[in-house]
Amino acid sequence: MNIIIIEDEKPAARLLQRKVEKLGLQVNMLLHSVEESLAWFQSNIHPDLIFLDIQLSDGLSFEIFETLDIKSAVIFTTAYDEYALRAFKLNSIDYLLKPIDEDELEIAIHKFKSQFQKSIVSNLDFDAIKKMLVNPIDRNFKKRFTIKVGQQLKMIGIEEVECFFSENKGTYLHTFDKRQYLLDTTLEQLENDVDPKDFFRISRKFILPLKAIKEIQMHSNSRLKIILPTYREDEVIVAREKVNDFKQWLG
């Protein structure tokens, strides 16, 4: 297993190396700048895992990925959480904020080991296979919802939906204009009714449209917190087991 650390502060790089090797992995190389990293990648086999600081002495480490096609897994190690969404669009395993907690580092490494050891075939579950076999182009997804409000029927277009959520055994639609409507369905059924390119089920409680994601923040236990434009009833958290799929969905 080939592992490198890219960190502009050499004492911090050596400290991280000791922490990683304490957990049973061998770090093969320490790099300290965008320029040095680009030169190294162009003349060496790309590693299995990169521990990557974002703000280096000569620029952002994203420049490395913009210049070269790097397929290595990445665990970000940074003092800044403002780059989280951009980081998720790379091959990121986790996003650790400095000072790096050893327990969170161990969890991140465990996640990497689990992914590294799984083959493509063993990593496919039944639901994933079903999704692969069904061509979304051939399906008719919901464009609107008909909802009974008193003695009237109200039409809610799919573009008005800020989120779907479940509460007290009921399923609700929350709109961008802060209105909520009880639906005669379940989140499980809604997963099949809405276009997976636009909607993602982040947990047992929430399904979100991409356009409603205002901000993504790091949360405890390697989870993510989503800030929506108007929904404030409860914290909107991406379940830990959904994080990797969520990042892939973001594109």
Q: Are residues 110 and 138 in the same domain?
A: no
Q: What phi, psi does 231 have (nearest 5°)?
A: -70, 125
* Contact assessment for residue 184 and residue 178, using Cβ atoms and an 8 Å cutoff: no
Q: What are phi and psi of 154, to 5 degrees?
A: -115, 140
CATH number at residue 40: 3.40.50.2300
Q: Decide if 127 is inside a domain.
A: no
What pLDDT is recorded for position 87? 57
- Whether residue 153 lies inside any domain: the answer is yes
Residue 176 and residue 213 in contact, taking contact as beta carbons nearer than 8 Å: no
What is the spatial distance between Cα 160 and Cα 198, in angstroms, rounded to a whole number? 13
Predicted confidence (pLDDT) at residue 88 exceeds the cutoff of 70: no
Q: Cβ(228)–Cβ(246) under 8 Å?
A: no
pLDDT of residue 222: 82
Contacts of residue 54, defined as CB under 8 A and 6 or more positions apart, other chains included, come to 60, 61, 62, 76, 78, 80, 83, 87
Domain count within the chain: 2
* Res 120: pLDDT: 33
247, 238 contact by CB (below 8 A): no
State which residues form the domain around 85: 3-117
Residues 6+ apart with CB under 8 A from 5: 13, 16, 17, 20, 27, 29, 30, 31, 50, 51
pLDDT tier at 225, thresholds 50, 70, 90: very high
CATH number of the structural domain spanning residue 158: 2.40.50.1020
Share of the chain above pLDDT 70, in %: 86
Our measurement of the distance from residue 165's CA atom to the centroid of its chain's CA atoms, rounded to an integer in Å, reads 20
* pLDDT recorded at residue 150: 83
Give the pLDDT of residue 113. Answer: 86
Q: Which of 88, 117, 146 is the last residue before a domain boundary?
A: 117
10 Å Cβ neighbour count for 41? 22
State the average pLDDT for the chain: 86
Per residue in 41-78, pLDDT (tens digit) is 998 999 999 999 988 999 988 899 889 888 889 998 88
Band (pLDDT 50/70/90 cuts) for residue 81 is low
Res. 9: pLDDT tops 70: yes
In a domain, 125, yes or no: no
My answer on whether 69 and 137 are in the same domain is no
Summarised one tens digit per residue, pLDDT across range 161-212 is: 999 999 988 999 999 999 999 998 999 999 989 999 999 999 999 999 999 9
Give the pTM. 0.52
Whether the Cβ atoms of residue 104 and residue 98 lie closer than 8 Å to each other: no
Q: Do residues 139 and 113 share a domain?
A: no
Query: Do 37 and 95 lie in a common domain?
Result: yes
| 55, 147: one domain | no
d(CA 66, CA 204): 36
What phi, psi does 221 have (nearest 5°)? 55, 40
